Amino acid sequence: MIYVVGSINVDLVMKTSRMPSQGETLTGERFFINQGGKGANQAVAVAKSGSKVAMIGAVGEDDFGREAIRSLIDFGVDTTYVCKVSGNTGIASIWLADQDNRILLDGGANLKVNETMIQKGLALAKPNDVVLLQLEIPLTIVLYTLKLAKEKQMMTCLNPAPMINLSQDILNLTDILCVNETEYESLVHQKLDIHMPIFIQTMGSQGVTVFHQKHQFHIDAHLVNVIDTTAAGDTFIGAFIARYEQSKDIQASTAYANAAAALCVTKYGAQQSIPTKQDVVTFMEVNHD
């Protein structure tokens, strides 16, 4: 079983020909609403890759929150441990322009995730179950979750995004760390020890590099027509964890996740752009992965 502890957002997306300058007003080309949040996106990626997954998080008592839960259920995510709290559901305002995205986030209900929610959500967790976290909920809750997971002998996975200053305690409790180039540079700048069992660095069009114990390998990115990169990182880590839970094969799991992320960026949206397991398998067969 995979437990995703993290954010649930609604994405308000505007496409534009270019990013506006300071004080400038531009007319967008299209507007749409996505169900998003790094936690929710990763949970959907896990579910679409065929693993059982439960979401632990919070939404507001508003229409956005109700729609977010419905969407997760539709994608096969267990929402038993998604709590409704006072205030608004998390909101992300996203601008898309020329293969780029900029995001402005209001954490909303995500900032009210607390220890009681984590205790209830992980009450039935067993040794070797997986917990996957990001950084769109309070950092104190991330640390608390990791400690509780270790007490239960669970496998822990952290995607430190969006990047903030981290304590070494958090990394010491992490079995699998997955970062992009910016996040990696921040960890180095913070002079943190990142020698955990599995360290994954995604590099966009440059592919992905994995460090496992004393070994390392690199997988090149697929050449695809990039439409929207919004959920690419979330797709990668969710797909990787799902496949790794099923196979315990790091290289095969990385290749699978690399293909899943490539497919994701060829479509608009967040959760709806995440490919299914069959989509990924077919893509890999065609591209001889």
Cα dihedral 230, 235, 236, 239 in deg (nearest 10): 180
For residue 234, indicate whether it is catalytic.
yes
Residue 286 backbone dihedrals phi, psi, to 5 degrees: -70, -35
Return the amino acid letter for 64.
Answer: F
- What whole-number distance in Å separates Cα of residue 48 and Cα of residue 85? 28
Strand stretches in 67-197, DSSP E: 78-85, 90-97, 100-106, 130-133, 155-158, 176-179
260, with CB counted inside 10 A (0-12, 13-18, 19+), is buried
Strand stretches in 37-114, DSSP E: 53-60, 78-85, 90-97, 100-106
- DSSP bridge partners of 215: 212
Which of 106, 234, 249, 289 is flagged as catalytic? 234
Query: How far is CA 33 from each of CA 66, 67, 91, 150, rounded to the nearest angstrom?
Result: 14, 11, 10, 37
H/E segment holding residue 239? helix 232-247
Which residues are known to be catalytic? 234
